[in-house]
Structure 1
C-alpha cells in the first residue's frame, strides 16, 4: 500500500514539473517576441521564476526550491534614450565661445557707419587672444547694416628681427666722389640719372653736388637729393629708409621703405612714394639715398602723407590694416572726394579697387588715410591717445 502511494506521488510531481517547464518555455517565447531594434536597458529582474526540483530522501524527505535568475529586457522611453547618448561639443560651448578669434593683437569693429561714436577701439597691448562671451555681446551687429564693416587689425607683421628692423644699420658710408653716376632730383617727384662733376663745400661746412644729367641740364643738389646708381645690399635696408624707386614708366621717384621681404608679402619690398602711392618692388628697382636726413620724413612735402608715415613708422611692426575681401564695397578718397569703389583683389597689405563713377583702378594700402574707415579709426585713436596722456 505504501508502494502504491509512493508511485502515485512521484507521478504527480513529475506532472507538475512538466507543466512548469512548459510555462517557462512559453514565458521565454513571450520575451523573444517583445524584443525589437530600439534601445533597451538590461536589468536583473526582481521577480524570479522558481524551478522546483524534487528530491526523495528517507525520513524527513522534503521538497527544496532552487531559484533561477532571468534577464528581462525593457523598452525605454525616448527621453531616457536621449539622456544616455554621449554629449556633443555644441552642448559644452555656446556659439560665442566656439568661434575662434583672430590671431591679431588688436581688433576694431564698428557697429554702424553713421557715427564715429559707435566705434570701439581695443588696446593691442592690453587685450589679446580669444574674445570672451561678454565682449562679443557688447557689439551686436545692427540690423540696418547693408554690408559687413571691416575689421582693423594691428598684428605683428613679421617673425624675425631682420624683417621688422627700423633702425639704420651702423655701417660705414659709401664714398661719394666726382665722376660717379648717381640719381639726382631734378625737380619735385622727378629724379634722373646723371654724373657728379663737382663737389662744393659751403662756408657752414655743408656739401653740394653739381650734377650733369644724362638727358640734359644740370643741377646743384644736397646729399639727400642724390642716390646711388647701383643696387643696395640687403643689410643696408631698413623700414623707414629713404630710397629712390624705378617705376613702371621708367621714371624714378623718391619713397620711404615700408616693408622688408617676408613670407607675408611674398618676399617683396613695399615702398610709399612721396605722393602716398604704395608699390611692391624687387631689390633691383631700389636705390639708397646717399646722405639721408636725420629724419627722412622731413624731405616729404605732402603734409597728410608725412603725418601718415610718421604714425606708420611709430606703430611698426604693428601697422593698422583694414581687412577687406574681394567684391566688398567701400568709400575711398579720389581727387579729394570720398567715392564709392569695389575691391577687386587683395595682395598682402594692398587692395586693388575700381571706382564706380569713372571705372578708375588703382592699388591702395589697407592702412591708407584715403580709406574712410581708416580715417575715422585714426581720428578716434588720436582722441583715445589724448585722453590717455591727460590721465
Structure 2
C-alpha cells in the first residue's frame, strides 16, 4: 500500500521539480537580460548559425567578463621629440613662420623679467648655419671668368662709389700687374686694378662664399654701387637672404640680383677695406665664422649705440634675424644695426675683453 502511494506521488514530484527548474531558468534569463541592458553595445553582429539559448547565455556572460571599455590617453610630446619625428624640408620651401619658430629665434633669448630692461643682453656665438656649404669661407676652386676689352663692368670711381662702365684697354705694368682702363657711363675714365672691377652679370650660387668681395646696388640710385663683403649665405636663420657688410659698416640683406662679384679679389679681402674700426671688425668676424657673436635684444629695449663718435641712447624698434632697427632718442634717427656690431656698447666691451684675453694667451 505504501509502495502504491509512492508510485502515485512520483509524477507529482517530477512535475514540481520541473516547475522549480523552469523558474530557475526564467530567473537566470531575467538576470542575463538585465546585465546585457547595462552593456554599452546595443547589438551584436549576427552569424549564419543560430545558437541555442544556453549557448547565448553562456557566451553573453563570457563577453561581460572579457570585453572592457576602451580608453584613449593623449600625451603631449616634448618639442625636441616632435622635431626629431618631423621629416626634413628642402630649404627652398621654408616659410617665414618656420624661420621665426626655429630654435635660435630671438623670442627664446628675450629677458624674462620685464622690470629689468636695462640689464646687459645675452651674447651668444652658436653655430649659424645648418650645413657645410653655408659655413664655408673658402673661395671655390673654379676657373676665373675672362675679363676682356669692350666688356661692361662695374668699376671703382671713389672709395664708396662704383659705377657701370666699359673696358677700353688692358695695360700690363712692368711688374706684370694688369690695369684696366674703364670709361664710365655717367662720364669720366679711370685706370683700375682687377680687385676694383666687378662683373655686371648676376653671380652663380656655386661662386659664392662667406668672405666674398662684392658690390651692391644702391637703393636710392640704381646707377651706383657700394663695395662690401658677403657675411651670410641664405639659410633658415636669415629667411633665405644674403647679408652683405658694406665698407662703411652698414649691414644689408639683399637678394641675388642686387649684388655682383668682384673680378679679381685680393687674397685677403679685408686688405681692400679702408683702415678703421670696421676693418678690424670684419677681420674678427671672418675669423669667428661660422660662430659669429650676436647680442640678443628685443623690441622696446633701450641700449647705447655709437653715433658720430659718441655713445647715444636709443631704443630697439624691430628685430630682423641678425639685424635690428634702432631709433635714437635725441634726433629720432633710425637705422639698421648688426647685432654683433662693435657700435653696440655691450658688444664693444665684449670684443675688447676678448681681444685682451687672446693677446694674453698669445704672449704666454
TM range, normalised to the smaller chain? 0.5 to 0.7
Question: What is the alpha-carbon distance in structure 2 between the residues aligned to residue 207 and residue 372 of structure 1?
Answer: 44
One of 281, 304, 309 as aligned partner of 2:282? 309
Instruction: Give the aligned partner of residue 294 of structure 1.
Output: 267
TM-score (norm 1): 0.63
Give yes or no for contact 2:117–2:302 (8 Å, CA) kept in 1: no
Instruction: Give the aligned partner of residue 217 of structure 1.
Output: 188
Give yes or no for contact 1:332–1:341 (8 Å, CA) kept in 2: yes
| Deviation sequence 1:66-88 (CA, Å, 0-9, x none) | xxxxxxxxxxxxxxxxxxxxxxx
One of 230, 247, 265 as aligned partner of 2:201? 230
Give the match's secondary structure for 2:362. helix
1:188, distance to aligned residue in structure 2 (A): 1.1
| Deviation sequence 1:289-336 (CA, Å, 0-9, x none) | 000111111111142101000000000000000000000000001111
Instruction: Give the aligned partner of residue 117 of structure 1.
Output: none
Question: What is the alpha-carbon distance in structure 1 between the residues aligned to residue 234 and residue 287 of structure 2?
Answer: 19
Give yes or no for contact 1:275–1:302 (8 Å, CA) kept in 2: no
Question: What is the alpha-carbon distance in structure 1 between the residues aligned to residue 119 and residue 348 of structure 2?
Answer: 18
Segments of 4+ moved more than 3 angstroms = none
Question: What is the alpha-carbon distance in structure 2 between the residues aligned to residue 264 and residue 145 of structure 1?
Answer: 28
Give the match's secondary structure for 1:264. helix
| Deviation sequence 1:117-158 (CA, Å, 0-9, x none) | xxxxxxxxxxxxxxxxxxxxxxxx9xx966232000000001
1:159, distance to aligned residue in structure 2 (A): 1.1
Give the match's secondary structure for 2:343. coil
Judging by fraction of residues, say which structure has more helix: 2
RMSD of the alignment, in Å? 1.8
- Structure 2 residues not aligned, in runs of 5+: 1-102
Instruction: Give the aligned partner of residue 90 of structure 1.
Output: none
Give yes or no for contact 1:274–1:302 (8 Å, CA) kept in 2: no
Give yes or no for contact 1:261–1:269 (8 Å, CA) kept in 2: yes
Instruction: Give the aligned partner of residue 187 of structure 1.
Output: 158
| Deviation sequence 1:1-20 (CA, Å, 0-9, x none) | xxxxxxxxxxxxxxxxxxxx
Instruction: Kindly indicate whether structure 1 or structure 2 has the higher relative contact order, using CA contacts under 8 Å at least 6 residues apart.
Output: 2
- The count of corresponding residues between Structure 1 and Structure 2 is 253
Larger Rg: 1
Please list, as runs of the form range in 1=range in 2, the aligned pairs for 1:1-391 lying within 5 A after superposition.
Answer: 147-249=118-220, 250=222, 251-391=224-364
Question: What is the alpha-carbon distance in structure 2 between the residues aligned to residue 212 and residue 246 of structure 1?
Answer: 19
